[in-house]
Amino acid sequence: MLEKAKQLLNEQFDELVSTLQNVVRFNTEKAVAADGAPFGKEIKSCLDYVLGVAEGFGMSTYDCDGYAGHADFVGSGKEVLGILGHLDVVPAIASEWKYPPYEGVIVDGNLYGRGTMDDKGPMIACLYAVKALKEAGFAPQKTVRLIFGCDEESGMECVAHYFTKMPYPTASFSPDGDFPVINREKGIYQFDVVCGKLPDGVTITAGDRANVVPSLCVAKLPTKVLKGGAKLPDGLTATADGETATLTAVGKAAHGSTPDEGINATYPVLSTLAKLYPDNATLAFVSGKLCDTTGGKWGVALQDQPSGKLTCNLGVLRTAADGTLTVTVDIRFPVSYNCDYMYGLLRANTPVEFDVVAGHISEPLFVPSDSALVTTLMKVYNNGMGVDEQPIAIGGGTYSRCLPNCVAFGPLFPGEEQTIHMPNELINLDNLRKMTELYLEAIYELAK
C-alpha cells in the first residue's frame, strides 16, 4: 500500500505544483480585519480555497471563524494526528524580487514566491501526501488532521483561538522548521527596559522589531561634544549640521535568535556615546551590559546540555520626548529554564530605577528524543535520506510550542539555501518532491 501511495504521489506531482502556485497567488500578508476575515479578506480567501481543495479530495473540513481551519482524513480510532502549518506570510517588497512574489513563477527547477517554503509549500505537500495515502487505500487508526493557521507570522492568535474551539491532537508535527526534527526550542523573552534619561540634546534610534538585529542606528548630539570627544570606531560615521551632529552606523541584519550572524549597528554608537558622556548612567548600562550577544556582561548568561547557550539581541532603541531611552531586547533562553526564572534574573541584574516590562514571552519546547513521536520521525528521515542524524535544537519559535507533544519536521534540508522571509523566497521542486515523500511516510507511520 505504501509503495502504491508513493507511485500516486509521483503521478500527481505536477498537480501538486499547480495547486501550490494557486495558493502562492493569494497575497496573504496580514491586513485589516473584515467580517469573517479577522486577518484580512485575502487570507480568508486563501483558507477557503485550500479547504475547498481538501473537500475535493474527500476530506471533511472545518472553518474556525476565519482564524484557522482544518481538513480531516478520518481514522477508525479516537486519537488525532495533527499537522499544523500556516497560510499567512511576511510582507514582500516586490521591487526587491527577481520575479513577482505572488505569481508562483517557475525558473530552473525552482518555484518562486512568498510562502513557497514558509509555509504554503510544506502544507500543500502534506495535503497531497494525505490524498495519495487515501487513494491508495490506507485506513488510518488515527484521524489525520491538517490544521491551517492564518496568523502565525504576527502573534499566532489564530491557533490560540482555534484551540478554544477544538481539542489538542494526540501528537503533531509542524512542517515549518528544519529537517531532521526540531524537538527543542529555546524559550523566548522579549521585553522593554525603560532606562533613565540621555544627556541633553542626545537621541538614539535603531531597529523596528525585537527579533531582528538592527542594521542601522542613528544618534543625534550637540556638535560641540563630538568635536572634543572620542575617536570614532570603524563603521561609524559622523556629520554635522550647525549645532547638531549625527552619528550613523550600518550593520548587518539577522534573525534575533542568531544574533552572531549579524552585525548590530547599535554597538559602535552606544560605545562612542558612553565615552563622550562617561557620567550618564543610562549610556553606561546599555553600552556596558547590553552590547553582548551572550548576556554575560549583563549577568544573565545561561546554558544547558539539551539546547546550548542563551542569546541576547538588542533589537530596538527609542528616545522619548523627555529624553528617556527605551530599549527592546530579545532573549532566547535554554530549555531547562522558564520565563519566571528569566524575569527574576533580568530584574536582579538591572538597576532598580530601570523598569523591565515583559512583552512577547513563550516557554521553551522540549519533547524528549526517545519519545515515540521523535523516534518515528527520525526513523522516517534517516531511512528516507540514507543518513544517521539526530534531532536538533533551535533558538527560533515554531507552532510546535503552541500545543503539547508537537515537533517541527522540515521543510528546510541541512545545507539547503535559506530563503525564508527573504526576497526571492523559493522552493526547489526536487526538494519539494522529496519532502512530500517524507511527509507521506511520516503520516503513514504515525497514523497506522
The amino acid present at 320, given as its one-letter code, is A
CA atoms within 13 A on the CB side of 104: 16
With 0-12 / 13-18 / 19 or more C-beta atoms within 10 angstroms meaning exposed / middle / buried, residue 353 is: exposed
Catalytic-role residue among 88, 118, 330, 441: 88
Q: What are the C-alpha distances in Å from 211 to residues 121, 255, 387?
A: 24, 6, 33
Q: Which of 378, 310, 320, 370 is nearest to 345 (CA)?
A: 310
Q: Is 370 a catalytic residue?
A: no
Catalytic-role residue among 29, 119, 151, 152: 152
3-class DSSP state of 431 = helix
- Are the beta carbons of 350 and 356 closer than 8 angstroms? yes
- Are the beta carbons of 309 and 302 closer than 8 angstroms? yes
- Are the beta carbons of 64 and 39 closer than 8 angstroms? no
- Are the beta carbons of 217 and 228 closer than 8 angstroms? no
Q: Which pairing describes strands 187-197 and 324-333: parallel, antiparallel, or unpaired?
A: antiparallel
3-class DSSP state of 250 = strand
What the block records as the C-alpha cell of 396 is 527560533
Cis? peptide before 119, omega within 30° of 0: yes
Q: Is 152 a catalytic residue?
A: yes
CA distance 16 to 23: 11
CA distance 270 to 353: 20
- Are the beta carbons of 187 and 99 closer than 8 angstroms? no
Q: What are the C-alpha distances in Å from 409 to residues 129, 159, 270, 394?
A: 14, 18, 40, 13
Residue 299 DSSP code? T
Tell me which residue has cell 526571492: 424
Q: What are the C-alpha distances in Å from 162 to residues 48, 142, 380, 403, 442?
A: 16, 20, 29, 11, 24
List the catalytic residues.
88, 152
